[in-house]
Amino acid sequence: MSFQAYLDAVEEKTGLTPRQLLEQAHERGFDASTKAGPILAWLADEHGLGRGHGMAMVHVITKGPAISDKHVGTTGSHRDASDTLWLDGRAARPV
């Protein structure tokens, strides 16, 4: 599953875009200095996310939307189209 696919699944599971969850995280004081544990606990308790989907959001919360270009433009199940994740929801994503 690509990184973007994880974020799309987060939106489907929670009804919130990754950007909306990012804003909630910042309202709770989570930022680049926050360890994964507290963020994962919050995402599980309030949004029902498991570890895999939670870790995708941990990355966005602590590191932003940029990802390694390791899988960009490759083939296989982990490929991403861009090294920048789309946070504004599937419906708003440019084609």
For 30, the domain range is 3-68
In the chain, the number of structural domains is 1
SS3 for the chain is CCHHHHHHHHHHHHCCCHHHHHHHHHHCCCCCCCCHHHHHHHHHHHHCCCHHHHHHHHHHHHHCCECCHHHECCCCCCCECCCECCCCCHHHCCC
Is 51 within a domain?
yes
Q: What is the predicted pLDDT for the residue at 1?
A: 83
The Cα 62–Cα 26 span in angstroms is: 10
Q: Which amino acid is at 58?
A: V
Q: What is the predicted pLDDT for the residue at 33?
A: 97
Q: What is the predicted pLDDT for the residue at 70?
A: 83
Is 77 within a domain?
no
Among the residue ranges 6-15, 51-60, 68-77, 85-94, the one predicted with the least confidence is 68-77
Q: What is the predicted pLDDT for the residue at 72?
A: 86
Question: pLDDT (tens digit, 9 = 90+) per residue, 35-64?
Answer: 999 999 999 999 999 999 999 999 999 999
Is 84 within a domain?
no
